[in-house]
Amino acid sequence: MPLTAQGEKPLATYAEMLASLKAEITASVPGIDEKKSAAFLAAVSAFAGANASEDAKPELVAGRGKRIDRHKSHFGGCGQVPG
């Protein structure tokens, strides 16, 4: 539904305010060093990849199981670990 003439007036006012604020904020924000940004993103990606690959390693999963088995004796030797 199109705005009436009465509705167009505040729309124009607020659109002008928005454009002015956007220009002011954009001018005051410092620039981004592309080399630093690329290095940071590469480091984050490598870290995320390293964590994902560690969780998939079977020896780490088996190690977790051994830790549980080792602690079974603390629960009366019944072979059950409380949940």
Q: What is the pLDDT of residues 18-68, one digit of tens each?
A: 999 999 999 999 888 999 999 999 999 888 877 665 555 555 445 544 545
pTM of the model as a whole: 0.39
Task: Give CA separation, 28 vs 9, 47, 74, in Å.
Answer: 29, 32, 62
Per-residue model confidence (pLDDT) at position 56: 54
Instruction: Please name the residue that has the structure tokens 């220009």.
Output: 23
Most confident of 11-20, 42-51, 71-80: 11-20
